[in-house]
């Protein structure tokens, strides 16, 4: 590349969608800080002599904060994404830094309500990054939303394991309180570094978009497998400081591959732009639909240019609450919240995701009660994060394929994720030697599979106009379910068993040892998850006709590819074609006057 072309290329690269995807991955890794609560909660418990009920109350604070995204949703309706990222960065640093000052006794011991506030605020700060990244990405990839949501939420799931490895490389494993210090500055730095890259990009559709997304999937799977290998190796052998640093360096190298993919795609477009500047090609519409018999306009019909097609006025948020549009159209906030479909979604989320979060929050305490070593417990936490990732990216790609190719309703896959999670709950309710490894794998994967499908279902049924607020309102069911199951079920069962066994507060919290500590509570959780799966099956039955149609039809109708891009990429077998060999493209009725080939 010539020197005089370097700066224009860098400008195009940083303004492109693929660099935005790369930046989104890094930001979502920082948002995975909520998944390492199981690691540093033990430090809080011993430092402040908390009971299990009090620790579970703090776990509820984390769940409440991470799902109380209504404020971020409302802000996202009126402000650009960079504002949300800056606000989230500030809140993240303040809250985690105050937690670190507390556990290291640099400030006076906080009251329980103060620690509740800090943890809730720390988790809530991630909602601003989540809302900015998810809403922007869905709008940038409207007909690949299941895939892009799976990838993004997958990096949130794997973020906990990545942050743990960075912590080990920078601080070692002797002082877990330094993990909280890392959580204060690392996500903040990433958000501030890339906040201008997260925005809605009105750009023509990439001819081989799906191929690039699969390349990103392969890279993310390799990263997750390496993390899995690393955590298993760290369990079997003692790592030196250099060993931890080498592992973190490999992770950084793997994380840079999506940047190289972005460079590759933008360089191809940059060369194409240079070839076609003096010979612009007319845009070509690429519909994924059957041709219509009435696609040619009648002689007496006047044709209106696309730029002048008037937009229909949509109802306001407060109007026509019970006069709902068809599924897939843009619902107002109240129309969505008062619909029967939303009611079933809330039941499935409350019982399914709420139970999973409650289980994940207690995975460290479960391992401790069953006599596992602290190193094994850190493996459980990392496995939950890693298989959470596999669940998220897997459900995104698989559910998208089953929905588009076989017309299976996405809520059906949502229900299957509930039933799979139920198996992991039973592994804890009826433990045997090594069963917690299987439980952490299954619960992590099952919960991960639920998350992107939940967000995709909401966007498909209720549209994208108020998506930022709708999905943040829907996920409020998670902390409600988490609180009831975490505090009123798991916490009270645990404290009862500990007291019955003669345990008292000895300055290190109320502790229970044995299989009975969590058996009863997780049997309750398994039944609750089963109920959530049944609610999702009912939703799948109600929406079966909707998913038999073309869910993304209206989004495909506004995607354009210049003819030169068609020639450059060649969608069939990568061979360059000329104008006479381009595939026949038939316009839908409203664009039939643009049938140019």
Interval 343-365 mean pLDDT: 89
List the one residue out of 324, 304, 363, 325 whose CA is nearest residue 518.
Answer: 363
| Beta bridge partner(s), residue 133 | none
pLDDT at 282: 52
pLDDT at 587: 38
> In angstroms, how far is CA 167 from the centroid of its own chain?
22
> Residue 249: pLDDT band by 50, 70, 90 thresholds?
very high
Helical (H) or strand (E) element with 285? strand 283-285
Question: What's the token pair of residue 144?
Answer: 């690949």
pLDDT at 22: 95
pLDDT at 137 over 70: yes
pLDDT at 576 over 80: no
Question: What's the token pair of residue 420?
Answer: 């799979």
The upper half-sphere exposure of residue 123, i.e. CA atoms within 13 Å in the direction of its Cβ, equals 22
CA distance 278 to 284: 18
> Residue 269: pLDDT band by 50, 70, 90 thresholds?
confident
Interval 420-446 mean pLDDT: 92
The CA–CA distances, whole Å, from 425 to 328, 416, 431 equal 35, 15, 10
> Residue 387: pLDDT band by 50, 70, 90 thresholds?
confident
Question: CA dihedral defined by 437, 439, 445, 448, rounded to 10 degrees?
Answer: -120
Mean pLDDT, rounded, of the chain: 81
Interval 270-286 mean pLDDT: 59
10-269+329-548: CATH number: 1.20.1250.20
| Number of Cβ atoms within 10 Å of the Cβ of 94 | 16
Please state, for a pLDDT cut of 70, what percent of the chain lies above it. Answer: 82
Q: Give per-residue pLDDT as tens, 581-593.
A: 443 333 344 333 3
Q: Which of 214-228, 269-283, 468-482 has the highest mean pLDDT?
A: 214-228
Write down the residue that tokens 């709902």 correspond to.
324
Q: Give per-residue pLDDT as tens, 179-197.
A: 999 999 999 999 999 999 9
pLDDT at 582: 40
Q: Give per-residue pLDDT as tens, 198-210.
A: 998 876 566 678 8
Question: CA dihedral defined by 580, 584, 587, 593, rounded to 10 degrees?
Answer: 30
Q: Which of 144-153, 418-427, 495-504 has the highest mean pLDDT?
A: 418-427
Listed by start position, the domains of the chain span: 10-269+329-548, 562-597
- Is the backbone of residue 509 left (phi > 0), alpha (psi -120 to 50) or beta? left
CA distance 81 to 302: 40
Higher-pLDDT residue of 232 and 193 is: 193
Q: Do the beta carbons of residue 414 and residue 348 sit within 8 Å?
A: yes
Q: Give per-residue pLDDT as tens, 514-539.
A: 888 899 999 999 999 999 999 999 99
- DSSP for 136-176 reads HHHHHSGGGHHHHHHHHHHHHHHHHHHHHHHHHHHH-SS-T
Higher-pLDDT residue of 316 and 92 is: 92
Interval 146-171 mean pLDDT: 88
């Amino acid at each position: 590349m010539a020197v005089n072309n370097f700066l224009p290329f860098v400008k195009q690269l940083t303004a492109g969608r693929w660099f935005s995807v790369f930046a989104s991955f890094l930001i979502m890794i920082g948002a995975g800080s909520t998944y390492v609560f199981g690691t540093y909660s033990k430090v809080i418990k011993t430092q402040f002599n908390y009971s299990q009920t009090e620790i579970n109350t703090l776990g509820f604070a984390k769940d409440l904060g991470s799902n109380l995204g209504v404020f971020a949703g409302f802000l996202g309706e009126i402000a650009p994404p960079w504002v949300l990222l800056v606000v989230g960065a500030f809140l993240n640093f303040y809250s985690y830094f105050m937690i670190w000052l507390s556990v290291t006794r640099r400030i006076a011991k906080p009251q329980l309500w103060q620690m509740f506030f800090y943890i809730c605020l720390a988790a809530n700060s991630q909602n601003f990054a989540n809302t900015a990244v998810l809403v922007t990405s869905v709008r940038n990839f409207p007909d690949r939303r299941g895939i892009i949501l799976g990838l993004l939420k997958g990096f949130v799931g794997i973020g906990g394991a990545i942050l743990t490895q960075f912590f080990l490389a920078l601080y070692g494993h002797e002082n877990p309180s330094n993990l909280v210090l890392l959580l204060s500055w690392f996500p903040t730095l990433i958000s501030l570094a890339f906040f201008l890259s997260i925005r809605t990009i009105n750009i023509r559709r990439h001819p081989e978009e799906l191929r690039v997304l699969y390349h990103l999937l392969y890279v993310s799977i390799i990263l997750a497998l390496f993390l899995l290998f690393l955590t298993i190796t760290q369990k079997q052998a003692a790592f030196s400081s250099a060993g931890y640093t080498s592992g973190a360096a490999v992770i950084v190298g793997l994380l840079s591959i999506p940047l190289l993919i972005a460079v590759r795609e933008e360089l191809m477009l940059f060369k194409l732009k240079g070839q076609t500047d003096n010979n612009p090609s007319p845009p070509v519409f690429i519909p994924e639909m059957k041709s219509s018999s009435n696609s040619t306009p009648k002689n007496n019909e006047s044709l209106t240019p696309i730029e002048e097609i008037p937009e229909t006025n949509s109802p306001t948020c407060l109007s026509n609450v019970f006069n709902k549009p068809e599924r897939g159209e843009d619902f107002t906030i109240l129309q969505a919240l008062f619909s029967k479909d939303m009611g079933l979604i809330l039941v499935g989320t409350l019982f399914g995701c709420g139970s999973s979060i409650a289980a994940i929050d207690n995975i460290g305490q479960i391992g401790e009660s069953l006599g596992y070593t602290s190193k094994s417990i850190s493996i459980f936490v990392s496995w939950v994060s890693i298989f959470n990732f596999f669940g998220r990216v897997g459900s995104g790609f698989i559910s998208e394929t089953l929905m588009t190719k076989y017309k299976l309703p996405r809520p059906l896959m949502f229900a299957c994720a509930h039933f799979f999670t139920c198996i992991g709950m039973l592994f804890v309710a009826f433990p045997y030697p090594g069963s917690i490894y299987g439980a952490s794998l299954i619960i992590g994967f099952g919960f991960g599979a639920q998350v992107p499908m939940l967000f995709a279902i909401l966007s498909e049924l209720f549209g994208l106009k108020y998506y930022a607020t709708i999905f943040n309102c829907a996920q409020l069911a998670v902390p409600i379910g988490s609180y009831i199951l975490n505090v009123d079920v798991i916490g009270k069962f645990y404290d009862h068993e500990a007291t019955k066994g003669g345990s008292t507060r000895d300055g290190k919290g109320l502790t229970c040892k044995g299989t009975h500590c969590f058996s009863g509570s997780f049997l309750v959780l398994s039944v609750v998850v089963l109920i959530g799966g049944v609610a999702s099956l009912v939703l799948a039955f109600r929406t079966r006709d909707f998913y038999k149609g073309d869910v993304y039809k209206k989004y495909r109708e506004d995607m354009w590819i210049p003819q030169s891009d068609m020639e450059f990429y060649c969608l069939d077998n990568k061979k360059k074609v000329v104008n006479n060999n381009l595939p026949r493209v038939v316009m839908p009725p409203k664009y039939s006057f643009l049938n140019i080939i």
